[in-house]
Structure 1
Amino acid sequence: MTDSKSIFTTFPKPEELLKWYQDQPKTETPDINGHIHTPHSFSAFSEVEQPFVLAKSEGVSVLGINDFYTTDGYNEFAEMAEKHKVFPLFNIEFMALQKDLQEAGIRVNDPSNPGRTYFSGKGLRQPAQMSEASANKIKDLQEESNRQTYQMVEKLNAFFTEKEIDIQFDAEELQSRLAKNLFRERHISQAIRIAVFEKEETDLGRAKLFNVIFQGKPVKSAIDDLAGLENEIRGNLLKSGGAAFVPEDPKAFLSLEEVQEIIIDAGGIPCYPVLLDFGDENYTDYEGDSEKLLAELKSKNVFSIELIPARNKFNILKDFVKFFNNKGFVITFGSEHNTPKLDPIKLSVGGGFELDDELKQINYEGTAVIAAHQYLVSNGQEGYLLNGIAKTDEKATFIELGKAVIAKFLEK
């Protein structure tokens, strides 16, 4: 909750905005990245401004913040958007649990954990505003997540003591130094990598210490590949079977229905993040059949999806996106940047292929719907949802208004 004002409250009224937009010269379809994480959860970026600087250098016109369990970065994200003239989308991400699918062994969009469901909200209010009940649920999720991470630090310290490795951590200090409110296992991986680098000055010394920490397993990454090293640390120590692994408590997850309620309460549009093919054209049980997935999402009143194109083969992505676009879904793309690796902001498909014109246009139209929704809700009007249901029959109207909103914000 904040006294800050929405960046959309000074915009003209819809009819004025549309009239202004009709008189503007038509421009090329913009490059858009609608899903990035910031240091408010875990990110490849060291500060919130960094992706905006990179976006300007790469010609990306729209960025969407999409942190786990938090809206804390919204106002700074808005400030950076205005400073750099990059249009902002205000999103959020959750890990929900569908217990019936967990019991049935059905993988949703996490290939390793049946029932676990990543789920996003698009176009929330900025400044963040929601009911006390929703805010408390998010606070409880953060506290439960941090409790698990603090326990990991305890187990890690015990492991280091047992193996006579002269490294110890204070969880509170790590959180203060490396994280914001949300302290995640990737922060622990980062802390271990930093500690090893401080303890050993040579590549050989560092490799040997990692070898001890990994209990005899050799390091696969180059010593100067910081992202690769941190991923190896996470896999060897903090994941299932690792010395510092702590299983998640079921209360660390809300049901999918609860997550959707929070998103709608916070002014957002429920959105299902699609994993699609994740190597050798594999799919989860939930996503293997597009018709079945369509029916599942519609039954849950979900009419928006997002994808991370770099994960997917071009032809698979294209066919899937066209199918859902023809069904009236709002579709957006992003990069996540939820690992230590600093990839480009400009999106590409798996194998480094660029998005083609049709995919870029679909991404633009989905983004425009979210932009129009943000603008309307910020000005006290009804957005893309009516009683929680998407106005799919009005999608074209929202696209046109959203294009006008984006253009007005980017106006020099």
Structure 2
Amino acid sequence: MKGFTIPEYREVNGHIHTPYSFSAFSDMETVFRMAVNENISVLGINDFYVADGYDSFHKGCVLNRIFPLFNIEFIGLLKEEQKNGIRINDPNNPGRIYFSGKGLDYPFHTGFMLRQQLRSVIRESQMQIKAMIAKLNQIIEKQDPSLKLSYEQIKKEYAHDLVRERHLAKALRILAQRNFSIEEQQLQFIEGLYNGKKSKTGVSNSAAFENEIRSNLLKNGGAAFVEEDEKSFLELKKIIRIIVKAGGIPCYPVLLDDPSGKFTEFESDPEKLWRSLRELEVECIELIPGRNDGAILKKFVEFFHSKGFIITFGTEHNTPEMFPLTVSTRGSVPLDESLKKIAWEGACIIAAHQYLRADGRQGYVLPDGKHSADQRDELASLGQLVIEYYLKKQ
């Protein structure tokens, strides 16, 4: 491209959650301030169930010369795997599967029937949240009858249209903070909700404290736990259909190794995982390298890259903890150059897909859901030019 110097690769983060689901970021401005400071060139929004943040995200990307990737994430259920106790990419819940769509059309659309199904799932998830709030209020009343949580207030102060468990933990922490000026009293109030169980984190580290509140009260075994109805989950085939209808690329989020080096049953054998994903006609994976050992990650990524998969990396930022947007492996170990190039290639393919779809042409995914994998190299080259042109013209 005349007049352009094209770098071999750029810094990419293809998966962040924003305040439109739950996020470490209190606002979108923080996202872009950090991205600019860290020289992130390509950024992917990846909220649960919703595309409500697309407009704000797009505007921020344009203003800050960052190329936007429009993604989404769902939680589904594989009933056979659940029945057989097979964990997929949720380490605690057999059969539950997190699944993403990459490079969706902007503006977001799904068609009437699929949109109704998606709204139904969101409605069910919010009913569960309201039931949790009711249980929380029951135990709060025993500690202090004057205090109470409200779904509408939590939604107004901490969320947008989608309230999640982590919003409840945050709201409860702040409820204690606002009503008890002394930290010792705040801790005493929360420990009372724990039924006398002592806090291991204390109140000074708000992120750790919120995680503890969520673990002790809202997860299985907690006093405010409410089991999710099966209606809260879509079948994987429906999730994939929604993604394809919305113009996206179906993408499996890989959990990979935990800190003790263990894997879920579904992911324990890369060859078997590859075959399983191919049977589902899924040829894109994403990883959150910050939770993985660098050597294990590299071997795994190189295997799937050799199989022609699109591969992207991200940081999620869907917990209270704030850390850099620059992708690194466990222990904040930087990605090596080969992994950065693979991530860059994946981002370029998704960028090309978005560009072609926006221009009314065929992207990486065909109308029947099959992939044009034979055009991967061509799309990667096109995507690189698209990104460079976008960054230079801003």
Aligned residues: 392
2:6·2:388 contact (CA, 8 Å) conserved in 1?
no
Q: 2:208 corresponds to which letter in structure 1?
A: G
Q: What displacement does 1:164 show?
A: 4.3
- Matching of residues 72-221 of structure 1 within 5 Å: 72-164=52-144, 166-221=146-201
Alignment of 1:345-384 (within 5 A): 345-384=325-364
Residues 356-397 of structure 1: per-residue CA shift (max 9 Å, x gap):
000000000000000000010011100001221111111000
Given candidates 258, 262, 277, the residue that maps to 2:242 is 262
Matching residue of 1:6: none
Q: Residues 196-221 of structure 1, C-alpha deviation per residue, up to 9 Å, x if partnerless?
A: 11122222222222222222222222
CA deviations 1:203-242 (Å, max 9, x no partner) are: 2222222222222222222422111010011011111111
Match of 1:43 in 2: 23
1-structure distance, mates of 2:39, 2:8: 12
Is 1:70–1:138's contact at 8 Å kept on the other side of the alignment? no
Which residue type is aligned with residue 372 of structure 2? K
**Equivalent residue for 2:299, pick from 292, 315, 319:** 319
Asked if residue 292 in structure 1 is aligned to residue 272 in structure 2, the reply is: yes
Partner of 2:370: 389
Equivalent residue letter for 2:84: A
Note if contact 1:34-1:333 (Cα within 8 Å) is conserved in structure 2: yes
The alpha carbon displacement at 1:352 in A equals 1.2
Q: Which amino acid aligns with 2:235?
A: S
User: 1: distance between equivalents of 2:253 and 2:175?
Assistant: 35
After TM superposition, the score normalised by the length of structure 2 is 0.97
CA distance in 2, matches of 1:211, 1:169: 17
Could you tell me which of 229, 234, 245 is aligned with 1:249?
Answer: 229
For residue 318 of structure 2, what is the aligned residue in structure 1?
338
Query: Which runs of 5 or more residues in structure 1 are unaligned?
Result: 1-19
3-state SS of paired residue (1:34): strand
Equivalent residues of 1:125, 1:267 under 8 A apart: yes
Structure 2 residue ranges without an equivalent (≥5):
none
CA contact (8 A) 2:139 2:193 kept: no
CA RMSD of aligned residues (A): 1.2
Distance in 2, Cα, partners of 1:244 & 1:162: 14
Letter in 1 for 2:387: I
Q: Quick one: distance in 2 between partners of 1:132 and 1:379?
A: 23
Paired residue for 2:284?
A: 304
Tell me the equivalent position of 1:276. 256
> What amino acid is the match of 2:15?
H
